[in-house]
A and B are shown apart, each in its own frame.
Chain A
Amino acid sequence: MIPLSYNFRSIFRRRVTAIATSMGLGLVVFVFAAVMMVANGVQKTLKSTGSPGNAILLRKGSTSELTSFISRDGAKTFAADPSVAQSGGKAMASPELYVIQQLERIDNSGPANVGFRGFTQDGYELVRKPTIHIIEGRLPAAGTSELMIGKAARGRYAGAELGESLKKARREWKVVGVFESGGSSAESEIWADADQLAQAMNRTSGYSSMTVRLRDPSDLGQLKTVVDADPRFNLEAKREDVYYEENSGQLAGFIKGLGIFIAIFFAFGATLGAMITMYGQVASRLREIGTLRALGFQRRTVLLSFLIESLILSVLGAAAGCALASFLGKVSFTTVNFGNFTETKFQLAFSPNVAIGSSLFAVGMGLFGGLLPAIRAARLPIVEASKG
């Protein structure tokens, strides 16, 4: 094999060209990695909203909490199911009302749909407390028009600030608390007393969903059967995190589809860039190639050497692209979640999978870009090549 130092030195000698090529590859890797991070972020944000130890009860066939309905009787019946954990003699169940209200964005970019969740005091204490942490202010008092707002909604909409109030549905809702929830989509919501919200929205007939803590995660199957078999309520039970993950499918799929489409186009361009560079390398090193062959290196050794050189360029590009993409790990963006039409803040997530995926992508570009020039180098007749 031709020593690797030969390749590194050749690249170094043509460093400007090498940098331009690697940068082109790197930008494509960056775009590819960013897309993967956005799609991952959407999935992760939504999945972390649910807990594997909880089950959520929804109307059979409903695609989101928005179109789901569970009557008060239904909520009472299944909260008492033996698979639901108990604490201090109370069932660990949180019946919730989920509605959309339109709020004006503070940056004057128009109104946005914001998810409002009506909760009960018991539901918060028994089910939600471990994941919804109040970081400022306090919990809204029962039976009042008080609100607590998620960290991501804070300051984004007019009135969404501790101590201020929101005028909506002919009421003045006073913001008394701010909560965080580990970056989950709940942080984009606004929470109010369930009964008060129901009255304001004319939805007093029942709740949207009920989340229960399972006695043991393995009890899910049992709860599912009981809920499914009861003809009075037309409900179904799902593991909470699975439900939220399913909810992310559409948006994540859309972003992935669009992104991969773009990345393939870009990759084609960058592959051509690598090909141009490698052809240039071959053309300017004819005499070297001739010498290598004359020294006894075989055609396939020369082919391999040029392919390796192209791979080195692509690995440099991958490293640059991934390094650039890792800075995006701190970035978050707010967009409409297609699952429930509300604005949700998503956190981009860099993971080893993203790095591996985009590096493989880069290696593919390097291989394709380097193959034809390497074949050309290998095919050169010794005599002609030696003439230069």
Chain B
Amino acid sequence: MTLTTLALRNALFRNSTRSGLTILGTMVAALSFVMLRTILGAWYANSEQSSSDRVVTRNAISITQPLPLSAVHRVEQVPGVTRVTWSNWFGGIYKDPKNFFAQFAVDPVSAIDVFELHIVEGSKEEFIADRNSCLMGKKLAEKYGFKIGDTVPLQGDIYPGDWRFKVAALVDAEDASVANTMWFHWARLNEGLSDSRKDQVGVITSKVAHADESPRVIKAIDELFANSDNETHTETEKAFRLSFLSGSSAILSALQAVSLVILIIMALILGNTLAMGLRERTAELGAMRAIGFLPKHILLLTLAEGSLLGLLGGLFGIALSNPILNAFGKTVEGFGFLSGMRFSLPTGLMTVGATLAIGALASAFPAWSASKMEVVAALRRQE
């Protein structure tokens, strides 16, 4: 029997209830770790999916302050800008405030171009021709059971009143948020508003010929409106989406901290198991030392045992996380919140690495004290 098989046998078969529970505990910890990391990743992923050849212009005062429609035509003149569209966040309620999903009033033709929307069902022409119609993200339509030709009633909040839109087509795009969004005619919104609120747009999205031209275009647009009644703030679409996240950074840091706490709990479970096992085998370790094994062998033996338990827990954890995460991701997407939450290999590997390291770390102290034990005292000790 080699030292490795001894470690394996000690870790797994000596006290199989305890080993099983320890692996189970490590597995749960690894599972929660993977899930927290994936949630954190998904939080940022929405901004990563945005295209860097799109820049977003809005009023410098704040996102809630509109720009005049005339600004759109001025942005179109900026060299480097190839296509411009504009949109207003509608923020309407479908039946109940809980049914939250994004709705935008857009200019139909340019929006389909700029946001690269693919019509997967229904007709683009019909949407463009009928100003009472809307485009619906595919997942959104699935969630609420909207079909082509259905009428979607929305209760306006920012734009008070009862609004109704007919679903003309379903769309999909690379960008996961698209599948959970609804678009309708900006002209339809505009005609329903009082004079003081007419001809105002929320944000202007411009497509830039090359991504590396974005910084110059951003500067040119903001300079165009500098010192006017409507100063603008322009940034890449990615930065624009990230700015919504920055406000939640406290929650994100809390999640980061919590994912570290789970590692500590894992270390405590593993360390406890190892310490118990070693205590029970004190006499055996004494015997090993007596027949010539060196302290470093004892140390290695224990470290191997801890790493093995950690590794197994981690592996089981990520094996289990794959189906759970995919199911969880789908549910969360159903709420129209955090899209694209899936198991990813790098996160899985990182988790296994972490459990392995923690297994070794947790065994360090028991291993060290076991290797330092006096042979005679160890042999004499009865438990």
Contacts and interface: CB of A to CB of B under 8 A. Distances in A.
Partners in one complex: yes
A280 B276 contact: yes
Contacts of B227: 170
B17 A62 contact: no
A111 B243 contact: yes
A262 B247 contact: no
B227 to A, nearest CB: 8
A30 B21 CA distance: 23
Contact of A335 (B29, B196, B249): B249
A258 B91 CA distance: 24
A335 B273 CA distance: 40
A201 to B, nearest CB: 7
Contacts of A30: 261
A138 to B, nearest CB: 26
B246 interface: yes
A269 B61 contact: no
B322 interface: no
Contacts of B29: 269
Interface string A63-79: 10011000000000000
A276 interface: yes
A272 B317 CA distance: 15
A20 interface: yes
B251 A113 contact: no
B250 interface: yes
A343 B246 CA distance: 10
Interface stretch (B180-188, B201-209, B262-270): B262-270
A276 B157 CA distance: 55
B61 A169 contact: yes
A279 B280 CA distance: 13
Interface string B236-266: 0000001100111111001100100110111
Interface in A100-152: 100-102, 109-113
A265 B280 CA distance: 30
B103 interface: no
- Interface majority SS on A: helix, strand, loop or mixed? helix
A263 to B, nearest CB: 9
Contact of B25 (A66, A269, A335): A269
Nearest to A66: B64
B268 A335 contact: no
Given A61-B160, A111-B243, A276 B25 contact: yes
Given A27-B261, A102-B62, A67 B248 contact: no
Given A24-B269, A31-B258, A110-B246, A269 B233 contact: no
Task: Kindly state the interface size class of chain A when it binds its partner.
Answer: 35 or more
A364 interface: no
A28 B266 CA distance: 11
Interface residues of B, number: 55
A245 B155 CA distance: 23
Contacts, number: 140
Contacts of B375: none
B251 A335 contact: yes
Given A269-B262, A272-B24, A20 B275 contact: yes
B21 A262 contact: no
Contact of B243 (A62, A110, A255): A110
Contacts of A334: 250
Contact of B62 (A38, A63, A101, A333): A101
B265 A205 contact: no
A266 B32 contact: yes
Residue from the set A21, A31, A269, A341 with the largest chain B CB neighbour count within 10 Å:
A269
Interface in A20-60: 20-21, 23-24, 27-28, 30-31, 38, 59
A343 B248 CA distance: 9
A1 interface: no
A321 to B, nearest CB: 11
A76 to B, nearest CB: 19
A275 interface: yes
Given A277-B272, A279-B18, A265 B28 contact: yes
Given A66-B64, A102-B62, A276-B276, A170 B231 contact: yes
B199 to A, nearest CB: 13
Contacts of A255: 251
A17 interface: yes
B248 A270 contact: no
A21 B25 CA distance: 13
B28 A280 contact: no
A273 interface: yes
A20 B28 contact: no
A20 B272 contact: yes
Contacts of A109: 246, 249
B383 interface: yes
A170 B65 CA distance: 14
Residue from the set A266, A268, A270, A273 with the largest chain B CB neighbour count within 10 Å:
A273
B365 to A, nearest CB: 9
Interface string B31-75: 110011000000000000000000000001111110000000000
Contacts of B155: 61
Nearest to A277: B272
Interface in A232-251: 234
A269 B272 CA distance: 13
A268 to B, nearest CB: 5
Given A272-B28, A276-B22, A276-B276, A262 B258 contact: yes
Contacts of B25: 269, 272-273, 276
A295 interface: no
Interface in B65-108: 65, 91, 97
Interface in B1-29: 15, 17-18, 21-22, 24-25, 28-29
B271 interface: yes
B229 interface: yes
B291 interface: no
B234 to A, nearest CB: 13
Contacts of B196: 205
A294 interface: no
A279 B17 contact: yes
Contact of A102 (B229, B233, B251, B258): B233
A196 B25 CA distance: 61
B129 interface: no
B157 A67 contact: yes
Contacts of B31: 265
27 contacts: A20-B268, A20-B272, A24-B269, A27-B264, A31-B258, A61-B160, A62-B160, A99-B61, A99-B62, A100-B62, A100-B63, A101-B61, A101-B62, A109-B249, A111-B243, A113-B63, A262-B258, A265-B31, A265-B32, A266-B261, A272-B269, A275-B21, A276-B21, A276-B272, A283-B15, A335-B247, A341-B64
9 closest Cβ contacts across the A-B interface?
Answer: A336-B247, A272-B25, A265-B32, A335-B250, A100-B62, A20-B272, A24-B268, A102-B62, A333-B250
